[in-house]
Amino acid sequence: MSRPHEDREKHTPVDHRPGGEPLFFASGTWCAIDVAHAKTDRSQAAISSYETLIEQARTTSAKARSSAVFSSDNGRRVVAIIELGGHEGFRHLETAWNDHHRYAEHRVKDESSVLELYRVLEGAGGVSIDPDSHTKYAIERVAHEPARADALTTAISGQAGFLGVIVFGKDDDTRSIILYWFETREALESARTSEAVQRVLGPLGETGESFFLAHLVKTFE
């Protein structure tokens, strides 16, 4: 007898090829964000799993909207950002996510993820998140108060090679996730180590929070 999760996957047509349409998460948007940790050789499987979950969430009570999947350059993290209507949609998505991970735990013991609800606090830049571009992304989780979102966007957007930045504040105001992107990896790394950005975020590698370079895998509109 098949598991319910397996049945859902069988009836959810998913195109796992990279691509999608350009998108941008506007200020005030509610988003569920999941950061999965996995071994490098499990990275592609994790990406495919999240793509399937997002497609399911678009046709169920979760009512997922614009979504994006990122992978860290070292292949050890996969990040899903899913636009939702708010807390009710998040509860439906959380149930599906939990069902999936309970099943996955029977097969993979070294993967973990944390699904949390965030709201877009600030955004800057006129360039959308585009799967066809060759921009370099960084994702950083910080413990700063979301009220500092304006200072974050100002510091990052003032750097050479800047293309875009979005600050997501957790719904309980305990942390923020920053997604920012630049023309090149060199420009991004230079920006992150600049005096202006370090004044707000602290020295890279000394804050105890997570930072990693990433590439965009796919978007859903």
CATH of residue 212's domain is 3.30.70.100
pLDDT classification of 11: cutoffs 50, 70, 90: very low
Q: What is the pLDDT of residues 47-57, one digit of tens each?
A: 888 888 888 88
| Residue 15 covered by a domain | no
- Choose between 134 and 219: higher pLDDT: 219
DSSP state of 170: E
H/E run at residue 191: helix 185-192
pLDDT on residue 10: 44
Q: How far apart are the C-alpha atoms of 29 and 119, rounded to whole Å?
A: 6
Q: How far apart are the C-alpha atoms of 167 and 199, rounded to whole Å?
A: 17
pLDDT on residue 203: 87
| Residue 68 covered by a domain | yes
Residue 77: domain span:
29-220
pLDDT on residue 108: 46
Q: What is the pTM of this model?
A: 0.86
pLDDT classification of 213: cutoffs 50, 70, 90: very high
55 and 14 in contact (C-beta within 8 Å)?
yes
Kindly tell me if the per-residue pLDDT of 7 is higher than 80: no
| Residue 54 covered by a domain | yes
- Taken in order 91, 169, 24, 210, is the CA torsion positive or negative? negative
Kindly tell me if the per-residue pLDDT of 15 is higher than 80: no
Q: How far apart are the C-alpha atoms of 93 and 82, rounded to whole Å?
A: 10
Q: How far apart are the C-alpha atoms of 92 and 168, rounded to whole Å?
A: 20
| Residue 8 covered by a domain | no
pLDDT classification of 195: cutoffs 50, 70, 90: very high
pLDDT classification of 2: cutoffs 50, 70, 90: very low
Per-chain mean pLDDT for the chain: 83
Q: What is the pLDDT of residues 19-45, one digit of tens each?
A: 788 998 999 999 999 998 878 888 888
Q: What is the pLDDT of residues 57-89, one digit of tens each?
A: 888 777 888 999 999 999 889 999 999 988 888
Q: What is the pLDDT of residues 92-127, one digit of tens each?
A: 888 888 776 555 544 444 456 788 999 999 999 988
pLDDT on residue 110: 45
| Residue 12 covered by a domain | no
Cβ burial, residue 134 (10 Å; 0-12/13-18/19+): exposed
As for how many domains the chain has, the answer is 1
Q: What is the pLDDT of residues 138-160, one digit of tens each?
A: 999 988 777 788 999 999 999 99
